[in-house]
Amino acid sequence: MNFDFSEKEKTFLAQVSNTMATFSKAQDLESGDLSMIRNHLTDSLAVLAPLDYLKIGLLKEGAPLSGTLALMAAMEQLSGIAPSIFLSVEMSTRLFGRILRLQEPTDDRLKIVEKLASGEVIGAVALSESAMNVENDPLATVGIREGGRIAVSGAKSYVVNGPIADWFAVVGRLDDQTAVYLIEKEAPGLTLTERIETMGYDGLAICGLGLDSVMVPENHIIGPIETSRCLDLLKLWENQILIAAALGMMKSSFEAARDYAKTHRSGGKPVIAYQEVGFKLSEMLTLYQTSQLYAYRAAWMADEDPKEAGVLTLCAKVFCTEAAESVAGKALQILSGEGYRSGGAAERAYRCAKFGQIAGISTEIARVRIGDAALGRR
Amino acid sequence: MDFAFTREQLMFKKEVLRFAKKEIVPRVQEHDLKEAFDFESFRKMGDFGLLGLHFPTEYGGEGADVVTTVLAGEALGEAGVDGGLTLAYGAHTFLCADTLFRNGTEAQRKRYIPKLASGEWIGCMGLSEPDAGSDVASMTTTAEKRGDSYVLNGTKMWITNGPIADVAVVYAKTNLELAHAGISAFIVEKGTPGFSPGPPLIKMGVRTSQTSELVFKDCEVPAENLLGKEGEGFLYAMQTVEWDRSALLAPFVGVTTYMLKKCADYAKGRVQFGRPIGAFQAIKHKLADMRIFGEAARTLVYRIAWCKDQGRPLNHLEAAIAKLFIGDWSLAVTNDAVTLHGGYGYTHEFDVERIFRDTRLAPIGGGTSEIQKMIISKLI
Ligand SMILES: Cc1cc2nc3c(=O)[nH]c(=O)nc-3n(C[C@H](O)[C@H](O)[C@H](O)COP(=O)(O)OP(=O)(O)OC[C@H]3O[C@@H](n4cnc5c(N)ncnc54)[C@H](O)[C@@H]3O)c2cc1C
Ligand SMILES: Cc1cc2nc3c(=O)[nH]c(=O)nc-3n(C[C@H](O)[C@H](O)[C@H](O)COP(=O)(O)OP(=O)(O)OC[C@H]3O[C@@H](n4cnc5c(N)ncnc54)[C@H](O)[C@@H]3O)c2cc1C
């Protein structure tokens, strides 16, 4: 047992945090049109690549840290600074990137991984569909073998990075199993919908995809893989990202509320001196620290005992994402009028927080699965 | 970072589980209903080595590290041992014996620790008073130096093991002018003239633990019964917080695992609307929340234990967070466990009813949730 990070880990984590804090101070990374969003992302990748941040979990060679726990802690640093950039970077690097590494990756795929790790390309993962929750319905996106290639047709909704991605990992059916089709942005038959506006994550580019007999060569197909194994793995990785996102939201909104409560005076004293405020901060910090340990332990378990990690990650995901909404809401309350103005950390976190409970595996389905595990059903 | 227990630690946990299931759990319900202390189980815990687990072997202990000690507490809860017995164990081993061990002279250690580690003697700790609970420094029990003795006057309240204790660590003011710095600690043995415990209080939960007042009326103890130094009593009381936030919280973690299993078994067997109730999502939701709580609580408790093993001073912020979280969050899940059992859950027949009552102490005993929030908000 050991509850400390190593000196090397601590140094790296501080480096990521400081570098990105300095970088993000110079500009507003949390809004803009598509071209601004693309620039923010490519600029951020250019800042993160030299730190080798993008290599963690993707490449053994040159990665500054190893293991899912260290990855979680590294992601937490970035998510605490810029939520949209964080999600964008991670959906590309850690979700799209890790999919590329599945099942004996071809040289082609490894080349894309190298480019992801150096921040030269942007990836997106297209899984959800209109009857989106893959829990209930089989995927409607299907590949049909035609000669040496596969014709993929279907429609995908809510694809993070969709409007700015160079590559898409499109998840669909193949031979009654599940496969991931690697599709380039200019592929004939691929269309993007308008950018989708959302409640939070203003600096994120999201759209839907249409696929009309998009021809995919064999070497750009990952799988077919047994469906539940494939989806469980993808959702595990996505949930890990969402957990780190929740930690970041809690950090930024807690710190904003704490600093305000210590400096803003009312009735002749800083508002933290009132139990209604001070106790809220205590509850927030309790949720934040408990979430942090939860996240680390679930990440550790992913390497230690992958079977056990599935349910534990769901537990962590439910806890952390619900805690994030609670902490952001309390922070907003403490910051009061100041907090309600657009652009503050708490207001932003409050709007972003809900996403964590919806995406990946929704908290409802997660609870059903955790309950099933308790009943010995999974 | 690494959350793994050693093989030996896990093996020991299994042994404690096996021991508790066989030797203690069969008598839990009977003692809870009778509000009776289970002397037999307590002595067996002594024989097994649990009561003195962390003390050095030369004092009758097992020399275990803190994480192992906390694992044993978790195992007791997980086996289904009631909160009354685990509280009695906590008050005896950590609040009383450990305070004696840490701050006592060699003669005091030799006199008390082996007897307490074996369970031959039972110990208690008297800090709270009728009018000084959260605000400990306002205590009014006094200890006046008279020649080679101290004379104690006052009343302690809510003292776990009070009616059955052979020895008590008692906090009293040696200087009424001072707040915390005026508090000193004393050892008072059963039968000392002027010292009498009150009758056991009738409680909602943790009923097998015996709780009472300790009344001191011109109770004269020899000066060598002063524990440590005059004026340092509050420090000693605070030292127990490390145990309070790890070993005393560990049974709550364990009992959550136990409760989850009981609830899952019930949900599989109970049929309504033609299906086992476990098939309903609302029931799975409750099971999920139990697991989610239990896993969160576990990590908080072991963080404190591990830091103590490293010889680090207690991090008061982390300790208060663990206490606050477990105290407040345990209520909803134990409540859910009762609801999940429907009307049966409301009867003494089912463990969940007792667990619900026992757990209600979590946000009160050892410093209320509000006090934890006060501590955290000061340290933020
Ligand atoms: C901003 C944003 C970005 C996204 N990015 C991506 C992306 O990059 N790639 C991608 O593939 N997807 C993405 N998604 C999709 C996301 O994963 C889905 O929204 C999510 O899986 C939930 O599906 P849904 O919205 O269809 O809800 P539904 O499945 O329709 O669910 C509606 C409600 O019913 C509940 N429910 C559904 N089924 C059950 C059940 N069996 N038991 C109990 N309750 C149930 C749900 O929990 C929810 O509360 C994104 C979504 C958003 C909003
Ligand atoms: C079963 C049981 C066993 C116990 N065992 C022992 C033992 O072995 N030894 C021992 O010394 N003590 C023991 N205690 C005492 C326990 O530690 C106290 O009950 C506890 O510290 C609370 O004190 P109190 O009951 O006097 O409540 P009070 O301090 O009177 O508090 C009443 C309420 O007011 C709140 N409150 C108090 N001050 C503030 C404030 N400043 N701001 C906001 N809210 C506040 C509290 O949180 C609580 O909700 C035991 C108690 C019980 C019930």
Contact indicator for B339, B61 with CB cutoff of 8 Å = no
Cβ of B165 closer than 6 Å to ligand 2, yes or no, is no
Amino acid code (one letter) for B310: Q
Q: Within 13 A of B332's CA, how many CA atoms are on the CB side?
A: 14
Cα B152 from Cα B160, distance rounded (Å): 20
Angle between helices B281-309 and B66-79 (to 10 degrees): 150
The residues near A136 (Cβ < 8 Å, ≥ 6 apart) are none
Atom of ligand 2 nearest to the CA of B161: 8
Q: What percent of chain B has pLDDT over 70?
A: 100
> Is the Cβ atom of A155 under 6 angstroms away from ligand 1?
no
Which of B70, B134, B326, B377 is the best substitution to test chain A (most A C-beta atoms within 10 A)? B377
Beta bridge partners of A126: A170
| In contact, A294 and A312? CB cutoff 8 Å | no
Residue B135 Cα to ligand 2 midpoint, Å, equals 8
Give the SS3 label for residue B284: helix
Percent of chain A residues past pLDDT 90, beyond the cut = 96
CA distance B311 to A327: 33
- Quick one: tokens of B204? 């909602």
pLDDT tens digits, one per residue of A86-117 = 999 999 999 999 999 999 999 999 999 999 99
Classify residue A165 by burial, with Cβ atoms within 10 Å: 0-12, 13-18, 19+: buried
pLDDT on residue B316: 97
Q: Which of A301, A364, A374 sits opposite B291 (nearest CB)?
A: A374
Percentage, residues of chain B above pLDDT 90: 100
Handedness of CA A246, A252, A255, A256 (dihedral sign): negative
What local confidence, expressed as pLDDT, does residue A135 receive?
65
* B318, containing H or E segment: helix B316-340
Helix, coil or strand: residue B71: helix
Task: State the nearest Cα–Cα gap between A357 and chain B, in angstroms.
Answer: 15
Alpha-carbon distance A366 to A289, whole Å?
22
Read off the pLDDT of each residue in A219-247 and give the average, rounded to a whole number. Answer: 96
Amino acid letter for position A197 = E
Looking at every residue in chain A, the average pLDDT score rounds to 96
Amino acid A133: pLDDT: 57
CA distances from residue B21 to A214, B76, B80, B180, B291 in whole angstroms, order as listed: 62, 8, 7, 43, 21
Q: Is the CB of A136 under 6 A from ligand 1?
A: yes
What one-letter code names the amino acid at A223? G
Over 80: is that where the pLDDT of B312 sits? Answer: yes
* Amino acid symbol at B317: L
Tell me if the bond preceding A224 is cis, omega within 30° of 0: yes
Give contacts of A258 with chain B, Cβ < 8 Å: 380
CB contact burial B314-331 (16+ within 10 A = b; e otherwise): bbbbbbbbbbbbbbbbbe
Q: Do domains B7-122 and B245-379 have the same CATH topology?
A: no
Q: Is A125 in the pocket of ligand 1 (CB under 6 A)?
A: yes
**The CATH fold of domain B124-237:** Butyryl-CoA Dehydrogenase, subunit A; domain 2 (2.40.110)
pLDDT at residue A378 above 90?
no
How far is residue A126's CA from residue A134's CA, in Å, rounded to a whole number? 12
CB B36 near ligand 2, within 6 Å: no
Question: Domains of chain A (ranges plus CATH)?
Answer: 7-117 (1.10.540), 123-225 (2.40.110.10), 228-374 (1.20.140.10)
The C-alpha atoms of residue B187 and residue B29 are separated, in whole angstroms, by 34
* pLDDT for A134: 52
Nearest alpha carbon to residue B1 among A16, A291, A86, A71 = A71
Cα separation, A241 vs A85, whole angstroms: 12
Q: What is the pLDDT of residue B24?
A: 98
Centroid of ligand 1 to alpha carbon of A210 (angstroms) = 18
Confidence label for A26 from pLDDT (cuts 50, 70 and 90) = confident
- Do residues B169 and B187 touch, judged by C-beta distance below 8 A? yes
| pLDDT above 70: residue A357 | yes
Q: Look up the CATH number of domain B7-122.
A: 1.10.540.10
**Mean predicted confidence (pLDDT) in B348-364:** 97
pLDDT recorded at residue A27 = 87
Question: How many whole angstroms from A139 Cα to the centroid of ligand 1?
Answer: 13
Contact B371, B377 (CB under 8 A): no
Instruction: Respond yes or no on whether ipTM tops 0.90.
Output: yes
CA distance A249 to A252: 5
Task: Verify whether the Cβ–Cβ distance A368 to B306 is below 8 Å.
Answer: no
Cβ–Cβ under 8 Å, residues A356 and A242: yes
Which segments of chain A does DSSP mark as H helices, in order? 7-25, 34-48, 68-79, 83-90, 97-100, 107-117, 227-263, 275-304, 306-340, 345-358, 363-374
Task: Judge: A2–B2 Cβ closer than 8 Å, yes or no.
Answer: yes
- Report helix, strand or coil for B155: strand
If you ran DSSP here, which 8-state letter would residue A194 be given? Answer: P
What pLDDT, on the 0 to 100 scale, is given for residue A138? Answer: 86
How many residues in chain B? 380
- On chain A, the residues whose CB falls within 8 A of the CB of B281 are 364, 367-368, 371
Nearest CA in chain A to B284: A371
**pLDDT(A367) > 70:** yes
- State which fold the B245-379 domain adopts: Butyryl-CoA Dehydrogenase, subunit A; domain 3 (1.20.140)
Considering only CB atoms, which chain B residues are within 8 Å of A315? Answer: 288, 291-292, 295-296
What average pLDDT score do residues A317-335 get?
A: 98
Cβ <8 Å between A371 and B4: no
- Both tokens of residue B90? 């906590």
Cβ contact (<8 Å) for A272 and B377?
Answer: yes
Tell me, using a 6 A CB cutoff, whether residue B282 lines ligand 1: no
Q: If you average pLDDT over residues B39-58, what whole number do you get?
A: 98
- Is B127:B120 a contact under the CB 8 Å cutoff? no
Residue B272: C-alpha distances to residues A194, B269, B275, B283, B295 (Å): 49, 10, 6, 12, 30
pLDDT tens track for A130-185? 865 556 678 999 999 999 999 999 999 999 999 999 999 999 999 999 999 999 99
Using pLDDT thresholds of 50, 70 and 90, give the confidence band for residue B26: very high
Average pLDDT estimate for B202-228: 98
> For residue A191, what are the β-bridge partners?
A210
Q: Residue type at A126?
A: A
Residue whose Cα lies nearest atom 37 of ligand 1: it is A133
| CA gap B135, B129 in Å, rounded | 10
**Is B322 a residue whose pLDDT tops 80?**
yes
State if residue A271 touches ligand 1 by the CB under 6 angstroms criterion. Answer: no
Q: Where are the domains of chain B?
A: 7-122, 124-237, 245-379
Estimate the crossing angle of helix A7-25 against helix A68-79, to 10 degrees: 20
Band the pLDDT of B270: cuts 50, 70, 90. very high
Contact A304 B373 (CB under 8 A): no
Query: Which residue in chain B has the smallest CA separation from A287?
Result: B325
